[in-house]
Amino acid sequence: MSFRKRNVGLSSPSSQSQAPVSGTQSSLIPGVRPSPLDGRPTTSTGTSSLDDLLGHSGFALGNSLLVEENGTTEFGATLLRYFAAEGVVQGHSVHIVGVGEPWGRELPAVVKTAGVESAKPEAQTAAEKDRMKIAWRYERLGDFGTGPSSARAPPAVNRTPTSAISSGIESTAPTAFCHTFDLTKRLALLDGNRLNYIPVRPVPPDVSPFQSILHALREHLASSSSSTVHRFIIPNLLSPALYPMQASNPQHLLQFLHSLRAFLRRYSTQLAIMMTLPVMLYPRSAGLTRWIELLSDGVMELSPFPRSSEAGPPMTASGSATAQEEIPQGIVKMHRLPVFSEKGGGGTLGDDLVFTVSRRKFVIKPFNLPPVEGDAEAQRGEGEGKPTAVDIDF
């Protein structure tokens, strides 16, 4: 009878040394970190509150996001500019379809946080001493828009400087995953920034206007390295001001969307697409809009609140709106989220979400109705209907 020793590997040491080691390549790319859910490479949309809604604490590469907007406002364009500005700061290759250089010159600038980082340790210590002592599990719960990204996702430590603010000197300081932008200032574009404009060329009526766009995107993806992240931006898809009449032909449009979907699956670690659609011209009840939603990984809708023509505060203003709390400007409806894994599955979101666009930021937050003004007695439980001890005893 032969005996075999326990806890002995069957493979030889030489074969173990030659086995490939799985490394975190995404952590070495600026602006990319692994998802806390399944580890897929994830980038930021430039809006931290939107990153929290997308499930992966960011925008997972290999996915597309469709932003539908009602009315004639430019809130969707603001999200696209945040997305483009974040790509420029992180050194990504940004492709913009249909618009020219004036659109790129309107990108918001990064807010400098040097004063915040250089705070004195004594002041921080005093603030920590004055903080209320609560249970550790409640202390880790953050507010909406800041908690999920910072609590669940690992910090993105990038050792390469950004192209927008670097001066050619290599630095080992970590860069932020999602920057804070100021809409009142403009981002200074350098010569090394990868900002490519893809025009919509005039074509005969029987030719698809999207062929040149797909050809340009294919060349950029094929000629770049595997570590380059591409952000493909389509403002105002099918807008008559940018596209010819045959662009809304389902034969041309659906082929274009299917091709974009094929690019996303082939370059699943390099490409992310964000586009806007004017729902005022193409309502959600139309079959063409429904097909656009089905061929998009994520779908969200921005519905601005109507404003009165008379001078005065908007209809959403109430007694709860203070100087610290911005007045919401519209409702956010998340119709679809990018899947968490190959098995599917999406996030659970509340229906009451609003967005606020101030001079310096775009924020998505829950919407809570304020208390009714002038009804203080009912709020304190006073009045005729106040229960007494006789009514309670039985």
> Is residue 64 pLDDT above 70, yes or no?
yes
Average of per-residue pLDDT values in the chain? 74
Query: What is the reported pTM?
Result: 0.72
Q: Which amino acid is at 310?
A: E
Tell me, what's the pLDDT at 35? Answer: 86
**Helix/strand/coil for 347:** coil
Query: Which is the CATH superfamily of the domain at 29-393?
Result: P-loop containing nucleotide triphosphate hydrolases (3.40.50.300)
Closest by CA position to 368, among listed 349, 347, 350: 350
More confident residue, 323 or 219: 219
Q: Using CA atoms, how far apart are residues 12 and 10, in angstroms rounded to an integer? A: 7
165 DSSP assignment: T
Domains of the chain: which residue ranges? 29-393
Q: Using CA atoms, how far apart are residues 132 and 334, in angstroms rounded to an integer? A: 36
22 DSSP assignment: -
The model's confidence at residue 7, banded by pLDDT at 50, 70 and 90, is low
Residue 298 structure tokens: 């994520």
**Exposed/middle/buried for residue 311 (C-beta within 10 Å: 0-12, 13-18, 19+):** exposed
Which tens digit of pLDDT belongs to each residue from 26-40? 557 888 999 888 888
φ, ψ of residue 56 in degrees (nearest 5): -95, 20
DSSP code string of 107-124: PEEEPP-HHHHT--HHHH
Tell me, what's the pLDDT at 146? Answer: 45
Q: Using CA atoms, how far apart are residues 295 and 51, in angstroms rounded to an integer? A: 21
Residue 88 structure tokens: 């420029």
